[in-house]
Amino acid sequence: MRVKNKFKESFILHCNAGGRLFPLVIGCLLFLHLFSFAHQRYAQSGETHLSTNQRTQFSILERVEEENIQLPQPRKRSTRAAKRKPKRPTTFIDEFLDESSQLRNVFFPDQRTAVDSRKDNGNDTYYYHPGRIWLDTEGNPIQAHGGGILYDSRTKMYYWYGEYKDGPTYHAHKKGAARVDVIGVSCYSSKDLWTWKNEGIVLAAEEKNETHDLYKLNVLERPKVIHNEKTGKYVMWMHIDDANYTKASVGVAISDLPTGPFNYLYSKRSHGYDSRDMTLFKDDDGVAYLIYSSEHNKDLHIGPLNEEYIDVTESMRKILIGQHREAPALFKHQGTYYMITSGCTSWSPNEALVHASESIMGPWETIGNPCIGGNKIFRLTTFFAQGTFVVPLSGVPGLFIFMADRWNPADLKDSRYVWLPLTVGRPLDHRPEYSFGLPLWSRVSIYWHKKWRLPYR
């Protein structure tokens, strides 16, 4: 009697079936190879898998939160006054801009609700409260308007640079926009994007020299900083102007440390064109780009910087031609470039739009308003704010922080920050029936929340 040997049998089976299994084995090997290649690519793109907990918190951020604000009853006027000058109906924007509005505290909540990381915040720790006063680790309101954030892998810290506007608001000319004299560019550091330490003014205004670009009566807006791996320098670009916004130039400054001091180099009209609102974008391949509103804000221009990031090159493309957009903020997700812009209405809020492109130099396509939740007027005013930067969050694919300024033109130093979760990946609201081979963009969504926090520390 033969004793059945399971192992032998299976061995024989394999050997006998060798002819048929060979392609299967090769197939498996090929699959494993492709899998590890894809995994490597995925890991290289800095994306990781989300834990179930993170996924739940992520979907909480995508919940639509309503906002119920009503216009107050119009103030009583005498019949004679009403006859003399009939008043057009008040809008939410009028109320927003009116310091004595009953809604003032809705848009600009007072000191009592300030976000203060020094306090025991209990369950509110790490929560962003868009529009509230936000204090630094010394208890002072953060002054970093029109700013941007740099993650520095050397110090493993986030640095937030912006306009330090802690001075009196006034009008240089009767018809000119409200302004604060230039004080300088501030820098705040953080490990968690919530607790911010004031690192001081890293590029200061020039007090006496009237011919200097940084002279206090000029304009310095929207500073952005990137790091150059080749030179080791931190490079700051900013909008430099005179009080009438006719100089319309960009300025450049460099530093050895993220916390400055920055050494101001020069200003110029890039590619020979006027430039006002601007931003920088550093791509994965280390090439950095300058994007600026030009030709009296009619178009945007985009072009790569030179290797040191201290000048532009000759290459430049005009994009979003004739669309009158400003406050550009760029980011990239899974190989697609996205940009959020605002309309051009000075300090008054307006509707944000998202644009997308497969190549940073364009063509860029406008894909719509990204704002979700709040109510219609919130969505048509970018939640009563204007974008300035989009912060990529490594570790949570598809999640970004949209940074915006809620300007207070009556008292610019009291302008607030509106930080909200931005996600990429939902299908578009209106998916075209036929794409004609053109790319089908993912929806970029900015969700309104009264309070929210990141899905990890």
Give residues in contact with ligand GAL (CB under 6 A). Answer: 146, 177, 221-222, 277, 326-327, 344, 346-347, 386
CB pairs under 8 A, 24+ apart, for 263-271? Answer: 264/203, 264/213, 264/214, 265/310, 266/213, 267/213, 267/240, 268/311, 270/301, 270/303, 270/312, 270/316, 271/301, 271/303, 271/312, 271/314, 271/316
Phi and psi (nearest 5°) for 268?
A: -160, 170
Q: Two tokens at 166?
A: 């802690």
Say if residues 229 and 237 touch (Cβ distance below 8 Å): no
Among 339, 420, 416, residue whose Cα is nearest residue 374 = 420
Taking every pair of Cα atoms in the chain, the longest distance, rounded to a whole number of angstroms, is 120
Say if residues 240 and 251 touch (Cβ distance below 8 Å): yes
3-state SS class at 13 = helix
Q: Two tokens at 395?
A: 């570790």
3-state SS class at 376 = helix
Among 311, 154, 335, 143, residue whose Cα is nearest residue 227 = 154
Say if residues 48 and 397 touch (Cβ distance below 8 Å): yes
> Looking at this protein, which amino acid is placed at residue 302?
I
Residue 90, Ramachandran bin (φ over 0: left; ψ between -120 and 50: alpha; else beta): beta
Phi and psi (nearest 5°) for 129?
A: -125, 90
Pairing between strand 443-447 and 371-372? parallel
Shortest reach from residue 334's CB to ligand GAL, in Å = 29
CA atoms of 188 and 415, how far apart (whole Å):
17
How is 243-283 classified by DSSP, letter by letter? TTS-S-EEEEEEESSTT-PPEEEEEE-GGGS---SEEEEE-
Q: End-to-end CA distance of the chain: give it in Å, rounded.
A: 68
